[in-house]
A and B are shown apart, each in its own frame.
Chain A
Amino acid sequence: MSDIEMWEYKQKLTTPEKVAEMVKSGDRLFYGEFVLFPEALDAALAKRIPELYNLDLRSVCFTRMPQIVAADPKREHVIMNDYHFSALSRKLHDNNLCNYVSIVYHQGPRFIKKYVDYDVVFLTTSPMDPRGYFNYGLANSVTSAAIAKGKKIVIEVNEHVPYCLGGNQESVHISRVDYIVEGKNSLLPQVPPAPPTDTDRKIAEHIMKEIEDGTCLQLGIGGLPNVIGQMIADSDLKDIGIHTEMLVDSCVDL
């Protein structure tokens, strides 16, 4: 790591509590997507919830219960919204604690750039690399658009975040970051695929008839895509390509 980046890192390093102090009533917040939930920043902000009003929280597929929402069971301080409903968001919606932002996924970055401004963006990333980059390639998605439209960019470093090569916009350089906190280094959430049902197996058998050498695959999460992945692994199919929203365990096996 060069001295310049290390110096900048030290300048920008702070604590979750100090970052939480900077959030104001009326702010629009973006949290790192999917499994890159900014745990330490969220926990620190939750302590301030009684004094803050009209916060708007957005992310893509919440994988952990935001503590700022847990601290506000009557929804008087924070309105939580999710661009891609997770099992957690679904449960919160049933209790009127979360709303869905309807999108066609590929348009997400464009509409954020056109129509959305965030006051604060909290991102979980890998530790800084020798060139000064923090990686969030595991949840690339709309993150870069949120960074482009965020007034304050705060990084929560987690040593368990893998360094994922791009493509593009899989990481952010320290020069574009306002603050850095070192988080709790919690393990990333593990989401094992559901076991397939008999119906899944039968559908997968029909799908297998449509797959040929050279097919370019998209596999989602769940019992069905998982069993399709298994069947492909057990078959003689060759030269399969992967171009997918979501990279899953089956892709590793294939």
Chain B
Amino acid sequence: MSEEFKSKYQEKLTSAAEAVQMVKSGDRVLYSEFGLFPEALDEALAKRAAELRDVDVRSVYFTRVPKIVEADPGQEHFILNDYYFGPVSRKLGEENLCFYIPNTYHQGPRVLKKYQEADVSFITVSPMDAQGFFNFGIANSGTGASISKAKIIIVEVNENVPYCLGGNQESIHISRVDKIVEGNNSPLPDIALPEPTEADNKIADLLMRELEDGCCINFGITGLHNAFGRRIAESGIKDLGIHTELLVEYCMDLNRSGAVTGARKNIDKYKMTYTFAIGTRKLYDYLHQNASCASYPVNYISDPRVIAMNDKVFATYKALEMDIFGQVSSETIGTVQKSGSGGQLDFIMGAFNSHGGKGVVCLPSTFTDREGVVHSTITPTMRVGSIVTVPRSLVQYAATEYGVVQLKSKSTWERAELLVSIAHPDFRDGLIRAADEMNIWVKSNKK
């Protein structure tokens, strides 16, 4: 490390308690995203709860319950908002302690640059490198954009943060940093993919019939992707590429086994490109200084135009509800926010525009409510309050455990027939009656 950077580092180094003195009432504070939760700064800010008012805190996918929220159960001092809405935010949302900021993921950085000033940005980073850079590549996403709009930038160093190669905007130079805090060096959160359900396994079997050598795939934090990854590993499929919002452990395993080479990608050849990574220590260790991966901001990864530059993009996303017109909700049940839009819309659009590309919205055909009643996830019309994540005009393929159907170019009566054909058999007659009543069932359907 050069003497120049060393002395700059010492000049800017301070304690978390000192650093958070820069936050004032009425400020907007950005917390770093996903696994890079700024733990020490959050703790220190929480201690100041009583003296602060109207502090607006935003992040992308809180992986921990912020101490500022625990310190302020009446929401009198802080308002918490999440651009992505993972399980932590969902739970806080149910208690009316966290709000969702609707966005289609690739537009996030542009939204920030156009419309959102921030007063203070807290960013968890790796230790400074020899050239004076701090790395945040496992949560690249909108961080570069938020840094460009923040008046004060405070980094919280954590030795456990891997140094992820980019791409671009995966790190920040010390010259752009106002204060440096050395944190608690807590391990990054361990988040494994959920275990697949029986429906996930069946859908994954159907997806495997559509997947070919040379496809460019993505992953999500779902049981379905767990089932899908397992099957790919066992399949003998070759030369897959990875261009994904989320990098998971399967990417590492499939790259090591030779199933993923990236050799047929048109852009970022031989690289697995991603905008954030979530997994266990194994994945974070793998990512450290690893040239097989490149971390990019989400305005690159999830831009439908960029996605479409690779051929045979095979994009898979999970949904909660779909009506027989083809509208998809992946984020709410009624008005209850369950998750976020993420890049689902981006990737479904991008896959359609890719040569040979397929964008598949996947959902189990039924769900069981808290009272034990089984419902069809395919409905005549969306439940009251349900939010559309993918409009019917943009949806391409839909999959349940009963099949995969292509909806593009299909008239309303054709869509109804196709979607009824993949609904759970117990609900098909009811859906047909509803279709008939809504004038989207014609003579040809009755054959």
A residues sitting closer than 8 Å to B (CB atoms) are 54, 58, 75-76, 79, 81, 93-94, 96, 99-104, 107, 110-112, 114-116
Contacts and interface: CB of A to CB of B under 8 A. Distances in A.
B442 A99 contact: yes
Interface in B121-150: none
B393 interface: yes
Contact of B408 (A93, A96, A111): A111
B439 A110 contact: no
A93 B353 contact: no
Interface of B: 325-326, 352-353, 391-394, 406, 408-413, 415, 439-440, 442-444
Contact of B440 (A94, A99, A114): A99
A75 B439 CA distance: 12
B409 A104 contact: no
A79 B413 contact: yes
Given A102-B392, A104-B393, A107-B352, A112 B442 contact: no
A194 B353 CA distance: 37
Given A75-B442, A102-B325, A102-B393, A111 B411 contact: no
B406 A101 contact: no
A96 B439 contact: yes
Contacts of A115: 406, 408-409
A55 B408 CA distance: 20
Given A93-B439, A103-B409, A116-B409, 18 more contacts: A79-B413, A79-B443, A94-B439, A96-B439, A96-B442, A99-B412, A99-B413, A101-B409, A104-B394, A107-B393, A107-B394, A107-B408, A111-B352, A111-B408, A114-B408, A114-B409, A115-B406, A115-B409
A112 to B, nearest CB: 7
Contacts of B444: 54, 79
16 contacts: A76-B443, A79-B443, A81-B411, A93-B439, A96-B442, A99-B412, A99-B439, A99-B440, A101-B411, A102-B410, A103-B393, A110-B353, A111-B408, A111-B409, A112-B409, A115-B406
B240 to A, nearest CB: 23
Contacts of A111: 352, 408-409
Q: Which 7 A-B pairs have the closest CB atoms?
A: A81-B411, A115-B409, A104-B393, A96-B439, A111-B408, A99-B412, A102-B392
Nearest to B396: A111
Contacts of B415: 102
A109 B14 CA distance: 59
B411 A110 contact: no
Contacts of B353: 110
A79 B444 CA distance: 9
Nearest to B356: A114
Contacts of B394: 104, 107
A58 B410 CA distance: 11
Contacts of A75: 442-443
Given A75-B443, A79-B443, A100 B393 contact: no
Contacts of A107: 352, 393-394, 408
Contacts of B443: 75-76, 79
A107 B415 CA distance: 17
B253 to A, nearest CB: 33
A79 B325 CA distance: 18
Given A110-B352, A110-B353, A100 B408 contact: no
A101 B442 contact: no
A108 to B, nearest CB: 9
Contact of B410 (A96, A101, A114): A101
B393 A79 contact: no
A116 B408 CA distance: 9
B241 to A, nearest CB: 21
B1 to A, nearest CB: 50
A94 B295 CA distance: 52
A75 to B, nearest CB: 6
A110 to B, nearest CB: 7
A110 B408 CA distance: 10
B171 to A, nearest CB: 37
Contacts of B326: 102
Contacts of A99: 411-413, 439-440, 442
Contacts of B440: 99
Contacts of A103: 393, 409
Contacts of B410: 101-102
A102 B412 contact: yes
A88 B264 CA distance: 49
Contacts of B413: 79, 99
Contact of B442 (A58, A79, A116): A79
A115 B396 CA distance: 11
Contacts of A104: 391, 393-394
Contacts of B406: 115
A81 B409 CA distance: 11
A111 B326 CA distance: 16
Nearest to A113: B409
A104 B325 CA distance: 14
A104 B413 CA distance: 18
B432 to A, nearest CB: 15
Nearest to A100: B412
